[in-house]
Amino acid sequence: MHVNHLKTDKIQGSVFMFCKGKKTSLRSIKATDFSKIIAWQANKHLNQYVGDKLPTSLQECEVRYLTSNLFNRIFGIEDENGNLIGEIEINHIKWKEREAELFLYIGEKDLWGKGYGHDALKTFLNYIFNEKKFKYIYLRVYEHNIRAIRCYEKCGFKKRGILRFNKNKIDSDNLILMEISSSDL
């Protein structure tokens, strides 16, 4: 997959990135996005899949999105009309080894299962492996998040293990570890 447009500039002391896929674009999170992100956090269905990772206040948004951090990069996912619909993040970045952990969600529930997450992830993997020369990306996903697991597998991620918290409970917090390397593309 080829990134149609890639632009990196300095804006207000932070890095602005723009990548365009077939259905989505990736760009920096802006302060004007905060109210939408806070509203997504209130969605119990989304929280079932992302846990308590999303901010609940403007102050938490400022810390999460506007504070510079060498080991974490967060980008907004936009649809074809320029509407913010989710985010993609790499954290625990090991710059020397060129590896990191990935986190992705689509906050707009009516867009789940319509290919937006897949397109954003393919676009981001193309960017991170081909432009930034990363070698390895891993993620953790709840075992009951079947739709996300299918998306990750379709993008080339492979299951590597499972962390079992409660093997006797359906919809438990068991986590599946998945990974992809630049040689897998």
pTM for the whole structure? 0.86
Confidence of residue 108 (pLDDT cuts 50, 70, 90): very high
In the chain, the domains with their CATH numbers are 6-184 (3.40.630.30)
Question: Residue 63: left (phi > 0), alpha (psi -120 to 50), or beta?
Answer: alpha
49-75: average pLDDT: 89
What pLDDT shows up at residue 169?
61
Average of pLDDT values for 72-83? 95
Contact 129, 182 (CB under 8 A): yes
